[in-house]
Amino acid sequence: MRFHPGVDPDKAMYGYMQALNGFTIDAIAAGVTKFLRGECEGVNPKFCPHPPELAQIVRTVVVPGRSARLAPEPQRLRIAVDPVPGERERMRFKMPMWRHAFECGLMDKLDAANKAGFGAMVVLANNWGVPVPEELLFDEARTENEWRIAGNRARAAMEANPPPFMRRRQQQQQA
């Protein structure tokens, strides 16, 4: 097919690339096929369609075939309902503790208390004025056990797939 008179083919190619950016190859092929068959109204079949016209043709042929770059799906945080008993309550307790420790430069104290167990965290929370959810205080022995299980699970996950700061620390220790 030929371009309209006076159209620079190199600039036209750039226009097509911009207009069709984000469509899948299959969607573009279906749109071009529709044009070549003469099934497009309002487009001169003697010349190549302009880039916006071709993009419109492709959109009318295969809207679901458009790629995620053109119409990104919003990212949603997926939260498990409650895979481990008491996990939500522990997070409702730990996050304010973490925030206070981060703002005040007390992360070492928080880390030590977290490793020592739930009782040490409660003492530290009382010192810092952070409220402890009542659900955690209801059965302190069960909570202490769940605290240790959750901590062990987290450490095992970090050892299996260490975050960057742990990898750097391991490399420093090996050197």
Global pTM reads: 0.43
Whether 28 has a pLDDT exceeding 70, the answer reads: yes
Q: Based on DSSP, count helices (H) and strands (E) in the chain, helices before strands.
A: 9, 0
CA-to-CA separations, 72 to 17, 29, 69, 77, 128, in angstroms, rounded: 19, 22, 6, 15, 43
Residue 87: phi and psi, rounded to 5, are -65, -40
50-72 pLDDT, tens digit each:
888 888 888 888 654 444 444 45
pLDDT class of 138 with cuts at 50, 70, 90: confident
Q: Which residues of 100-109 are buried (b: 16+ CB within 10 A; e: fewer)?
A: bbeeeeeeeb
